[in-house]
Amino acid sequence: MLDKSRLRIAMQKSGRLSDESQKLFASCGIKINLQQQRLIAFAENMPIDILRVRDDDIPGLVMDGVVDLGIIGENVLEEELLSRRAQGEDPRYTTLRRLDFGGCRLSIAMPLDAEYTGPQCLQNSRIATSYPHLLKRYLDEQKVRFKSCLLNGSVEVAPRAGLADAICDLVSTGATLEANGLREVDVIYRSKATLIQRDGEISDEKQELINKLLTRMQGVIQARESKYIMLHAPNDRLEEIVALLPGAERPTILPLAGDKNRVAMHMVSSETLFWETMESLKKLGASSILVLPIEKMME
């Protein structure tokens, strides 16, 4: 029997979001033993149960209040929201945090030889997609009438198979489209993974645990996006050097033994340093430039 006092989190069992979701839980200090075939994994060191399901089921589990939290692609979440609204429901949930993985775009693609000058070219066409509601919302705004052909997989073969004139599908690199003789013509939705919470009453203990997890996630994500930078700099170029560093806070300045003209600078930057910036730093007289990853941060 499931213990309702434990926080229940739904994640994708296997697929593009599962590794990153698992990594995020681990870096937040949740110890779980994910055995391959188990639907539920119990955290060893916190009152948390992880439910591992198909990603399509996650928005519904949160909206129906079956789980407390879920990690899901915004594309799937938004499609479920529109679908439920179309059926007269008023689904509720709260977005806690947009995450830094699962990035992709939902795009319209057409055969390479088809002409496309704008959404009007799709007037009265047949479009294959797994996201009929997101597609309809976009084309309704453009006042384009179309027929959708609902396919839950292999959407990219629909034009070649004569099932549709165009497709609307997820793209990250575009390699799949190219392999199927298709060209991306319009981006209709940009998505990332996101953490959502169910609506309604929640015990103080659970809410406290959620807040703790959120703070930890914030620290993990911020650390992943930041770098620790160390370099040696001539005393008279310090301001110019700091100005080159993206999103850096004020640096720590330390003396260099036996060198009165130069100092060591340490700082946290909110972005990585590109080679071009490192080359410009070098031109200003900086040397021994080190860019290090940061594991955790707390402000």
Q: Which is nearer to ligand ATP, 82 or 294 (CB)?
A: 82
Q: Using CB distances below 5 to 8 A depending on partner kind, what does residue 165 bind out of Mg ion, ligand ATP, none?
A: none
* Site for Mg ion, rule CB under 5 A: 55-56
Query: Cα separation of 22 and 16, whole Å?
Result: 11
Q: Which is nearer to Mg ion, 17 or 281 (CB)?
A: 17
Q: Using CB distances below 5 to 8 A depending on partner kind, what does residue 170 bind out of ligand ATP, Mg ion, none?
A: ligand ATP
Kindly state whether residue 104 participates in binding ligand ATP, applying the rule CB under 6 A. yes
Q: Using CB distances below 5 to 8 A depending on partner kind, what does residue 251 bind out of ligand ATP, Mg ion, none?
A: none
- Tell me the residue nearest to ligand ATP as measured from the CB: 73
User: Which listed range, 48-56, 107-115, 133-141, 275-283, lies at the site for ligand ATP (CB under 6 A)?
Assistant: 48-56
Least distance to ligand ATP, CB of residue 178, Å: 13
Q: Is the dihedral of CA 164, 166, 170, 175 positive or negative?
A: positive
CA angle, 276 then 277 then 283, to 5°: 95
Q: Which is nearer to Mg ion, 87 or 152 (CB)?
A: 152
| C-alpha to C-alpha distances, 174 to 48, 169, 177, 287, nearest whole angstrom | 38, 11, 5, 40
Q: Using CB distances below 5 to 8 A depending on partner kind, what does residue 73 bind out of ligand ATP, Mg ion, none?
A: ligand ATP
Least distance to Mg ion, CB of residue 131, Å: 11
Half-sphere exposure of 83 (CA within 13 A, CB side): 13
8 Å CB contact between 214 and 96: yes
List residues bridging with 53 in a β-sheet.
12
How many residues touch ligand ATP under the rule CB under 6 A: the total is 15
3-state secondary structure of 2: coil
Query: Cα separation of 49 and 62, whole Å?
Result: 14
Among positions 56, 184, 225, 240, the unique one binding ligand ATP when judged by CB under 6 A: 56
Kindly state whether residue 15 participates in binding ligand ATP, applying the rule CB under 6 A. yes
| C-alpha to C-alpha distances, 54 to 14, 15, 18, 57, 105, nearest whole angstrom | 8, 9, 10, 6, 20
User: Which listed range, 50-58, 107-115, 182-190, 249-257, lies at the site for ligand ATP (CB under 6 A)?
Assistant: 50-58
Least distance to Mg ion, CB of residue 56, Å: 4
Q: Using CB distances below 5 to 8 A depending on partner kind, what does residue 75 bind out of ligand ATP, Mg ion, none?
A: ligand ATP
Beta-carbon contacts of 171 under 8 Å, excluding residues fewer than 6 positions away, are 104, 105, 106, 107, 109, 177, 184
8 Å CB contact between 6 and 48: yes
| Contacts (CB under 6 A) with ligand ATP, residues 134-173 | 170, 172
